[in-house]
């Protein structure tokens, strides 16, 4: 069964570079990003892991724990991490799952046989504090991921989990938002005290609500 948005993120126990973890316990009340790599000692993965480690403070700020996975064994991960630090100028500061028996890769559908029978594709799963899957992105081995995009989507997911808004095309934190159609104009007046612009009855624009609240608190 493939995983779909809103499903429970499968739990597992695995060996990682930071010791054995039970996934759900390790996540605790945090958000999580679980991302897979085709193989250790590969060039694109090396750059991705260096970047993910550099961005760790940004994930921490958002209460998001990050964890990588590759099907190679633990000793291989440990050796590779030295190369990553040397070439990317950044030590890995999050656990890497060793999945030589493909237990976790199979659980999360990270092996796509038409791409490769042996390597995982570049999967990204964002998991909410309720342990539900909030986002899935799949890249081929030849294309490195954009971790700024992962952070951007997390900003949207966290905002839309608190307020009755959606985020428009190319939105980034701080930009105006869209009021979801299920909110009436009457309710929108109280929910969005900064006001809203009606371009069409189904397209109503409001300033980002938590930005407005932060300004009000500071005033």
CA distance 50 to 68: 12
Nearest Cα neighbor of 16 from 93, 99, 88, 87 is: 99
CB of 49 to ligand BEZ, least distance (A): 10
Q: What are phi and psi of 128, to 5 degrees?
A: -85, 170
* Pick 144 or 207: Cβ nearer ligand BEZ: 144
The CB-of-122 to ligand BEZ minimum distance in angstroms stands at 8
Residue-wise DSSP of 84-103: HHHHHS----S-EEE-TT-H
**Among the listed residues 19, 43, 113, 201, the single contact to ligand BEZ using CB under 6 A:** 43
- Rg value, the chain, Cα: 20
Specify the stretch interacting with ligand BEZ by CB under 6 A; choose among 40-48, 60-68, 153-161, 210-218.
Answer: 40-48
Provide, rounded to whole angstroms, the least separation between the CB of residue 14 and ligand BEZ: 21
Among 3, 15, 18, 44, binds ligand BEZ (CB under 6 A): 44
The residue annotated as part of the active site, out of 45, 49, 141, 154, is 45
Report the distance separating Cα 88 and Cα 9, nearest Å.
31
Write phi, then psi, for 183 (nearest 5 degrees).
-90, 125
State yes or no: residue 39 binds ligand BEZ (CB under 6 A): yes
Rounded to 5 degrees, φ, ψ at 129 are -60, -20
Kindly tell me which of 45 and 53 has the beta carbon lying closer to ligand BEZ.
Answer: 45
90's CB contacts (< 8 A; 6+ apart) are: 50, 53, 54, 84
Applying CB under 6 A, does 141 fall inside the site for ligand BEZ?
Answer: yes
Site for ligand BEZ in 64-123 (CB under 6 A): 119
Which residue of 16, 31, 32, 38 would you call a contact of ligand BEZ, by CB under 6 A? 38
Look at the block and give the residue holding tokens 């921490």: 60
Cα–Cα distance for residue pair 206/208, rounded to 1 Å = 6
Helix (H) or strand (E) holding 144: none
The torsion angles phi and psi of 46, rounded to 5 degrees, stand at -60, -45
Residue 45 falls in the annotated catalytic set: yes
Site map (CB under 6 A) of ligand BEZ, residues 197-216, x = contact: --------------------
Is residue 124 a contact residue for ligand BEZ (CB under 6 A)? no
Interface residue with ligand BEZ among 2, 114, 142, 217 (CB under 6 A) is 142
Q: Catalytic residue numbers?
A: 45
Residue ranges that bind ligand BEZ, judged by CB under 6 A: 38-39, 42-45, 119, 141-142
């Amino acid at each position: 069964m493939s995983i779909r948005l809103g499903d429970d993120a499968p739990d597992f126990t695995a060996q990682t570079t930071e010791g054995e973890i039970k996934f759900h316990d390790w996540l605790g009340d945090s958000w999580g990003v679980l991302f897979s790599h085709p193989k250790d000692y590969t060039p694109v993965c090396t750059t991705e892991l260096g970047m993910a480690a550099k961005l760790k403070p940004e994930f921490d700020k958002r209460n998001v724990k990050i964890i990588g996975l590759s099907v190679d064994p633990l000793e291989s991960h440990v050796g590779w991490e030295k190369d990553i630090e040397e070439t990317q100028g950044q030590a890995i500061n999050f656990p890497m799952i060793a999945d030589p028996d493909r237990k976790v890769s199979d659980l999360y559908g990270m092996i796509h046989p038409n791409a490769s029978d042996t390597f995982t594709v570049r999967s990204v799963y964002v998991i909410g504090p309720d342990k539900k899957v909030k986002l899935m992105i799949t890249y081929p081995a030849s294309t490195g991921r954009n971790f700024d995009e992962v952070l951007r989507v997390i900003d949207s997911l966290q905002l839309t989990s608190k307020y009755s808004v959606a985020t428009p095309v190319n939105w980034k934190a701080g930009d105006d938002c869209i009021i979801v159609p299920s909110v009436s104009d009457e309710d929108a007046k109280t929910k969005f005290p900064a006001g809203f612009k009606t371009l069409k009855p189904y397209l109503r624009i409001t300033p980002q609500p938590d930005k407005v609240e932060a300004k009000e608190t500071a005033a």
